[in-house]
Amino acid sequence: MQVQDQAIVGIHYTLKNDAGETLDSSDGGDPLQFLQGAGGIIKGLETALDGKEVGDKLDVVIEPEEGYGVHREELVQEVPRSAFAGVDDIQVGMTFQAQTDNGPVPIQVAGVSDETVTVDGNHPLAGERLHFAVSIEEVREATQQEIDHGHAH
Ligand code: ZN
């Protein structure tokens, strides 16, 4: 069976950035399982996997637009330290949940001064070109329940 919409796909993968550093990998664990066509993985990877079969190995380079998005400067904001009342030691790299009209959004501390904290609401991999090495371990038809839920069981 080929990878197609409404198939459950299992892959092993290694993700590197442009500098060749490994950002993420399924090595040593179970394959990553997802329902193809349901947006469970980034769009560029779904597109590259379409039509492939168990045993296929592929190297995929994905531009930010098809990955975690471009880095949007308007998502970087300086807020008063008082917004972090109750947090004693604010450091660059810490992550928080910001409450927004669209629900909680993860933000990362990008800078700290005496008066302000610079927060970045971009995905940590926004703006990165992604290099995936993928091997396809499993392709099967999804159950009706998996299709209804939009994810693999
Ligand atoms: Zn479910």
Question: From ligand 1's centre to the CA of 94, what distance in Å?
Answer: 31
Q: Is 57 exposed, middle or buried (0-12, 13-18, 19+ CB in 10 A)?
A: exposed
DSSP 151: S
Q: How confident is the model at residue 32 (pLDDT cuts 50, 70, 90)?
A: very high
3-state secondary structure of 64: helix
Q: How confident is the model at residue 48 (pLDDT cuts 50, 70, 90)?
A: very high
Question: According to the model, what pLDDT value does residue 9 have?
Answer: 98
User: Residue 46: which H helix or E strand, with range?
Assistant: helix 43-49
Neighbours of 95 (CB within 10 A): 12
Question: From ligand 1's centre to the CA of 150, what distance in Å?
Answer: 7
Average pLDDT estimate for 14-24: 96
Q: Measured in Å, how far apart are the chain's first and last C-alpha atoms?
A: 19
Question: From ligand 1's centre to the CA of 124, what distance in Å?
Answer: 27
Question: According to the model, what pLDDT value does residue 128 have?
Answer: 94
Class of domain 7-68+125-149: alpha beta
Q: Provide CATH 2.40.10.330 ranges for the chain.
A: 73-120
Both tokens of 37, joined, read: 């066509």
Residues whose beta carbons lie less than 5 angstroms from ion ligand 1: 149
3-state secondary structure of 72: coil
Q: Please provide the CATH number assigned to the domain covering 73-120.
A: 2.40.10.330
